Amino acid sequence: MQQLTGQVKELDFKSETYKDAYSRINAIVIEGEQEAHENYITLAQLLPESHDELIRLSKMESRHKKGFEACGRNLQVTPDLEFAKEFFSGLHQNFQTAAAEGKVVTCLLIQSLIIECFAIAAYNIYIPVADDFARKITEGVVKEEYSHLNFGEVWLKEHFTEAKAELELANRQNLPIVWKMLNQVEGDAHTMAMEKDALVEDFMIQYGEALSNIGFTTRDIMRLSAYGLIA
Ligand code: Y39
Ligand code: FE
Ligand code: FE
Ligand code: FE
């Protein structure tokens, strides 16, 4: 019912209401792509055997950022980058701390699983309700995000036995942050015809599938997912 309403509602991309919401969501995406760019450079240093592939991913992220900056300019919206920096600060801090301690498993969980699944969910839900210009950009971007998620899945699957305990702890520390982030943008997302329920559903499907591909059992996945609910 919710989703049907979202699809039918006529969006006025030039209205002040839409542009105000867009100034925050667009900034989140721009800041997220910038941080993803930096995170893959850090990961390239932590994983010399995958250095070149990770640098390739980091370059994709800066192209994504440029694409979304163009989406903002197209709607004559100034992104609220200060809001976006604050929005990402929890995950950013946890990634930096883990990187400084050489905890590559935690870094991969934060960037390649949690943040990529968040991006894939948001972009999938956005595409049907985006303006024509942003839809084309986002369709190109989301395909690449799947390849970033895949990098994390493959690496963590290959190191599953040694990584399992660190993954569980990192999940417990970071999944609640994602729910807080979603709650913060629920209103702006709604203004753009993106419903929170749909975002949560898509995120949990992507994240659960990723955990399954890495080697977690259904029972593990249920337990790991439940940590989101205590945010
Ligand atoms: O790997 C990536 O490219 C991810 C950094 C980009 C983050 C996108 C974050 C999207 C959240 C949007 C929330 C809208 C409700
Ligand atoms: Fe609604
Ligand atoms: Fe990206
Ligand atoms: Fe990405």
Whether complex ipTM tops 0.85: yes
Name the pLDDT band for 228 (thresholds 50, 70, 90). confident
pTM: 0.95
pLDDT given at position 151: 98
**Best substitution site from 28, 63, 194 to test ligand 1's pocket, by max atoms within 8 Å of Cβ?**
28
Q: Supply the DSSP string of 26-50, one letter for each residue.
A: HHHHHHHHHHHHHHHHHHHHH-GGG
pLDDT given at position 7: 53
Check if 84 has its Cβ closer than 6 Å to any atom of ligand 1: no
Q: How many angstroms separate the alpha carbon of residue 1 from the centre of ligand 4?
A: 31
Q: How many angstroms separate the alpha carbon of residue 132 from the centre of ligand 2?
A: 21
The closest ligand to the CA of 9 turns out to be: 2
- Is 90 exceeded by the pLDDT of residue 230? no
- Is 60 exceeded by the pLDDT of residue 137? yes
How far is CA 33 from each of CA 28, 72, 165, rounded to the nearest angstrom? 8, 14, 28
Share of the chain above pLDDT 70, in %: 95
Contact 4, 197 (CB under 8 A): no
